[in-house]
Amino acid sequence: MISFFPENRQLALGMSRALLAKKAALVTFVEPGPAPPAGGGGLAAAVASIAVEAECGHAGGLGLMVFPVYLFLPVGHTHTRELLIDIDQPETAQDYISGGGSSGHDQASALAQPSERRCQENSFRLQPSDLAEFLGDLEEALRDDFQEESRLHPARKRKGEEFELSRFVVQWAEQMNYLHPGLLVSLRESLEVWRGARRLGALHRLEVEVAGDWLKRPVGRGIVWLESVAGFPLASYGLINHLLAIALLYLTGLLKRGSGRDKTTEWVWRGLVVLGCYVAEVFLVARSWGRRVAGYYLPTLPLSALYLWRYAWLLRHRTRIAFLFLNLSAEAARTKRLRQDFLHEINQALTHYAEMLALPH
């Protein structure tokens, strides 16, 4: 490990020249910091200085090449666990010292410019449109949190439209996009989980609002829950009676919608299959328990089929809506928790970035 700071620059350059003369490879790492000035700075300036001075010290005989190396380091709950490495096409140091007329500083600056530009073109980075979308979604999450805080504390109420991201946050996102794109990918996943929960919650609230008057009255909801519980045994009985018919309809394709067949013919075949199953079931009951039991059993077949149909409708259009009504507060609390978790991740990343810049807390 070679520390490359202004106070030990000459010592670091000497050690680097010695290693490069032995055909060794040097790997230089970058840390977050202020944006480099025009003409290169930071990582690019350090790399260019090492390469140019090493080549000049050996009369251009080393043939040094500067390779941009891009990393994708998974963070947190990202779906991938692979560390991805991409080595880009190199810049050759000899191309910038062959003129001989310019000074070493000018040669290093000339090499630093394309190096800095290509380092920022991380192959794993978010595209500009995706980065802009991420910043817009981040602003939306922060504005949501801001507006909720205003509702809880009316004395500090302000207009949510006045809220916008600071330049510090935008600069952090731009630097992380080429220094640590894995972090942005992880944050985008957290953000998308929150947005998905919010969209689903909004859809459920809309379903509850348009459900009708029965949902607004405790008596209506009570009747739905009572029938959902009390009707379950009868619906189960109907399902058992019609398992054979359902299986045959599924295997023959008569349950498929939009098959292109004539509707009347299709319903006739469905009815024939169900009647055939009824005949077979009544025959089996008569053989096992006698004709009298079969006579009692026969009328229950169409009646249980009708209630099974009714119970399926009840579950889809009443019980599910009643459950959504009960679950609205829990769903809203989960959405809020997901947003708070995402904002906590953002705050941690921004705090770390501020510490790297030696900014006040």
Among candidate residues 54, 89, 119, the one where a domain is terminated: 119
Q: Is it the case that residue 39 has pLDDT exceeding 50?
A: no
Domain assignment present for residue 200? The answer is no
Please check whether residue 110 is in contact with residue 96, taking contact to mean a CB–CB distance below 8 angstroms.
yes
Higher pLDDT, 32 or 269: 269
Q: Does residue 213 share a domain with residue 340?
A: yes
Please check whether residue 121 is in contact with residue 141, taking contact to mean a CB–CB distance below 8 angstroms.
no
Among candidate residues 100, 119, 138, the one where a domain is terminated: 119
Domain assignment present for residue 83? The answer is yes
Report the DSSP beta bridge partners of residue 70: 86
Domain assignment present for residue 144? The answer is no
Domain assignment present for residue 315? The answer is yes
Across 112-122, average pLDDT: 81
Among candidate residues 119, 148, 180, the one where a domain is terminated: 119
CA 224, CA 231: separation in Å to the nearest integer?
10
Number of domains in the chain: 2
Higher pLDDT, 258 or 264: 264
**DSSP output for 26-51:** --------SPPPTT--THHHHHHHHH
Please give the sequence-ordered ranges of beta strands (E in DSSP) within the chain, or none if there are none.
65-66, 69-72, 84-87, 91-92
Domain assignment present for residue 357? The answer is no
Please check whether residue 277 is in contact with residue 242, taking contact to mean a CB–CB distance below 8 angstroms.
yes
pLDDT classification of 37: cutoffs 50, 70, 90? very low
Q: Does residue 341 share a domain with residue 225?
A: yes
Report the share of the chain in percent with pLDDT over 90.
40
| Residue bearing tokens 């259009």 | 317
Q: Does residue 333 share a domain with residue 215?
A: yes
- The residue range of the domain holding 91 is 6-119
pTM of the model: 0.71
Q: For residue range 192-245, list pLDDT tens digits in order.
A: 999 999 999 999 999 999 998 899 899 999 999 999 999 999 999 999 999 999
Q: Does residue 215 share a domain with residue 113?
A: no
Q: Does residue 339 share a domain with residue 219?
A: yes
Report the share of the chain in percent with pLDDT over 70.
89
Q: Does residue 340 share a domain with residue 236?
A: yes
Would you give the distance in Å from CA 288 to the centre of its chain? Answer: 58
Q: Does residue 231 share a domain with residue 335?
A: yes
Q: Which of 115-129, 205-219, 273-287, 304-318 has the least mean pLDDT?
A: 115-129
Q: What is the pLDDT of residue 309?
A: 94
Across 72-90, average pLDDT: 80
The mean pLDDT value of the chain amounts to: 85
Q: What is the pLDDT of residue 281?
A: 92
Q: Which residues have CB under 8 Å from 132's CB, separation 6+?
A: none
Phi, psi of 297 (to 5 degrees): -75, -35
Q: Does residue 220 share a domain with residue 114?
A: no
CA 347, CA 354: separation in Å to the nearest integer?
10
Q: Residue 187: count other Cβ atoms within 10 Å of its Cβ.
A: 22
Domain assignment present for residue 272? The answer is yes
